[in-house]
Structure 1
Amino acid sequence: MSKKVSLKQHIGVTTVCIICITTVFTLLQFIYPQMLSSLRRNPTALYSGQWWRLFTPLLVHSDKNAWVQFIINMLGIAVLGTAVERLVGRYKFLLLYLAGGLAGEIAGYCGWDPFGAGASVGLCGLLGGLFILFIKGKSKMTPIIPVISLYFIAGLLGNASGSYVFTILICLSVSALQILAMKNKENINNINSENKVDIL
């Protein structure tokens, strides 16, 4: 029974769904290039009534190195998404992701990047939610802040060095450290719970 609970605690169902859906669409865009043009931001198409383009750019990636952009975004969503989902629940998590995505798409259409695409704006929504929780004084947020900072540093170092491979390696390292930290915390909690049972 305890193993099942532990597994559920570590897996963010909504996070996994977002990653899987985004992965499918991003892979399909490499097989069918027209999918990118059909889902990315396009002011003319939006004004003609294709309202879904306010959200579908989250499903594909339009950067020159789209696969690198995709990997970094999925790593970020996997780590931060699981943390957010555990803190606020799946429905508020989805609301944060879509709200951040919508805000990013509107900013894109307003001139930032009218023909862009990518899940990074949804990730920004999750980051915003984390910082709001931190500002409100949620003590659970403290261990997550260094993780967020490391992801930003990874992005900055990648841009400065011009090496996306270096960026991916840093993000993978951060993800590995986060997983180890979560496992270590679980082991400590299990030990504490066993001690409480013995005392009772």
Structure 2
Amino acid sequence: MSKENLIKETINIFCQYYRYNIEEFNSKREGQSFWGVSRLGENYNEYMVFLDLSENGELDTDYIYNKHRYENVRIIKVFYIKNKENINWSILSEQSKEEIIVVDKNQYKIVYCSEFARENAVIIERIMEHFKRIKREKKAVKVPVITSILILTNIIMFLLTAYLSGSIFESNTSVLLYLGAKENTLIGNGEYYRLISAMFLHGGIVHIGFNMYALYFLGTMVERAFGKLKFILIYFIGGISSSLASYFFSQAVSVGASGAIFALLGAILIYNLKMGYKANKAMIGNIVSVIFTNIVIGFILPNIDNFGHLGGLAAGLIVTLLIINFNKRL
């Protein structure tokens, strides 16, 4: 990320989530200015400006001090450096009237902060962690391993179902039961494996097409966000919970990965809601819309296991909350 984009995004986050105002600062050099943020508090007025180290002497700080008659003013200079500079930052800080924060923009970490700038440095460090995570995600493999294995397994099971049914458009119910569909009487007689096997069976080419399309996108996001093990927990607990909800509330034979996919929707929703300033608000709105639309369609159209969808969604929400809260304690 370029220095300009780094400063722009940092300013946006300070303004949107920490109640700062965007501020343009004068330069001693004509025709030049710098960007930063300001916050007028009860005890002091704070100004934070983002600079290159080479621009240290060019900021017109006298204008700011004169504006407030040198009373209750705190100016924080945030320097972005490319690599470790051979500079004693403590001495530089002592020689300056202003507080300083030094950020290594390549490593996305704080190199130095003066005593009265620590609160701001903590916020900048969080923002840098956010940018570092984005950088890691861009380098990630396009389709995570577990998601690929799940899609491949579903396709293999569908091809077997289609072969035995003699059709790719509509799976034979007897074949589905033979391969492990959810059927209440059989589960009640001890065939508990059906709570899992039903997740890998589908009623036809359209059914599996929609589900695998959703699994590709949602699975990729969840696996990247949580890692392989936690993704497996969310997916399978969601799928099993879906089968259990269907078992208790529906007598119909049921198949499909929809319940586990609804669990992934719940996981992404909680993940974004818990991200604070990092949250993707547009994504949150889209997820809520998709969940609501699918539930409504499930109640309107026949042969849709809405109880399974709701069971998977609830499990995804709960498991993800537990995972995030557990991680915070570590």
**Where in structure 1 do 4 or more consecutive aligned residues deviate above 6 Å?**
156-159
In structure 2, distance between residues paired with 1:72 and 1:153: 17
In structure 1, distance between residues paired with 2:230 and 2:181: 25
Query: Deviations for 1:50-77, whole angstroms, at most 9, x for unmatched residues?
Result: 1101111101113xxx221211110001
In structure 2, distance between residues paired with 1:14 and 1:147: 25
In structure 2, distance between residues paired with 1:49 and 1:19: 28
Task: Provide the residue aligned with 2:43 in structure 1.
Answer: none
Task: Provide the residue aligned with 1:47 in structure 2.
Answer: 188
Which of 26, 29, 36 aligns to 2:158? It is 26
Q: Kindly tell me the number of residue pairs found equivalent between the two proteins.
A: 155
Cα distance, 1:28 vs structure 2: 1.1
Cα distance, 1:35 vs structure 2: 3.8
Task: Provide the residue aligned with 2:264 in structure 1.
Answer: 126
Structure 1 residues 144, 16: CA separation in 2 closer, same or farther (over 3 Å shift)? farther
Query: Deviations for 1:87-114, whole angstroms, at most 9, x for unmatched residues?
Result: 0001111111111111110111112354
Normalized per residue, the structure richer in strand is: 2
Unpaired runs of 5+ in structure 1?
A: 163-200
- Cα pair 1:130 1:141 within 8 Å, conserved: no
Q: TM-score by structure 1 length?
A: 0.66
In structure 2, distance between residues paired with 1:141 and 1:92: 21
Q: Mapping of 1:91-170 within 5 angstroms? A: 91-112=229-250, 114-137=252-275, 139=278, 141-142=280-281, 144-145=283-284, 148=287, 151=290
Task: Provide the residue aligned with 2:227 in structure 1.
Answer: 89
CA RMSD of aligned residues (A): 2.9
Normalized per residue, the structure richer in helix is: 1
Structure 1 residues 61, 87: CA separation in 2 closer, same or farther (over 3 Å shift)? same
In structure 2, distance between residues paired with 1:113 and 1:30: 24
In structure 2, distance between residues paired with 1:69 and 1:79: 16
Query: Deviations for 1:173-194, whole angstroms, at most 9, x for unmatched residues?
Result: xxxxxxxxxxxxxxxxxxxxxx
Matching residue's letter, 2:143: I
Identity %: 25
Question: Which protein is bigger by CA-based radius of gyration?
Answer: 2
